[in-house]
Amino acid sequence: MLNDHLDWSGVRQVCRIVRTTERKGKTSTEVHYAITSVGRDRADAERLMGWWRGHWKIENQVHWVRDETFGEDRSRVRSGAAPQVLAGVRNLVMNWLRSHGTENITKALRENAWNPQRLFATLGKPNN
């Protein structure tokens, strides 16, 4: 039983994921581990992998974009409701761009910054 070996009373499964990637001609192997309170009767290896991928999809499509593209972690705004309001605005922008078929948020922000008339036209506002 796993509980005999781990200091977590609710553990039901341990997962090991080995990922091999190649970047710029260099191959690297990463090993990741996860523990869960969900038993095999509710989640087999395939389902656990789906959950794992779903987690990283959110991380890559939302949190990474907010942190890196929008500089959320570098923001000096930390008091009152302003941090939540700005997070909401960032989410609004990401969702709006994605609803218009944008795959690269950074590129879209750059293009709209250089050509605000196009942005206003897309928004349906006159550009005078």
Question: In the predicted model, what is the mean pLDDT of residues 8-30?
Answer: 90
Does any domain span residue 83?
Answer: yes
For residue 68, count other CB atoms closer than 10 A to its CB: 13
Give, in order, the Cα–Cα distances in Å from 120 to each of 80, 83, 107, 123.
Answer: 31, 26, 17, 5
Is residue 128 predicted with pLDDT exceeding 60? no
Question: In the predicted model, what is the mean pLDDT of residues 59-72?
Answer: 86
pLDDT over 90, % of the chain: 33
What is the total count of domains within the chain? 2
Residue 114, pLDDT score:
86
Q: CA-CA distance, 95 to 102, in Å (whole number)?
A: 9
> 81 and 120 share a domain?
yes
The beta strands (E) that lie in the chain are given as: 13-23, 26-36
For 78-105, give the DSSP string.
-STTHHHHHHHHHHHHHHHHHHTT-S-H
DSSP state of 37: S
> 39 and 73 share a domain?
no
Does any domain span residue 95?
Answer: yes
Question: In the predicted model, what is the mean pLDDT of residues 5-26?
Answer: 87
> 85 and 38 share a domain?
no
Show the domain range for 35. 1-43
Does any domain span residue 126?
Answer: yes
User: Of 84, 1, 37, 107, which is closest to residue 98 (Cα–Cα)?
Assistant: 107
Q: pLDDT band for 44, please (50, 70, 90 cuts).
A: very high
> 39 and 65 share a domain?
no
Question: In the predicted model, what is the mean pLDDT of residues 75-96?
Answer: 91
> 70 and 21 share a domain?
no
Does any domain span residue 53?
Answer: no
Write down the pTM of the prediction: 0.57
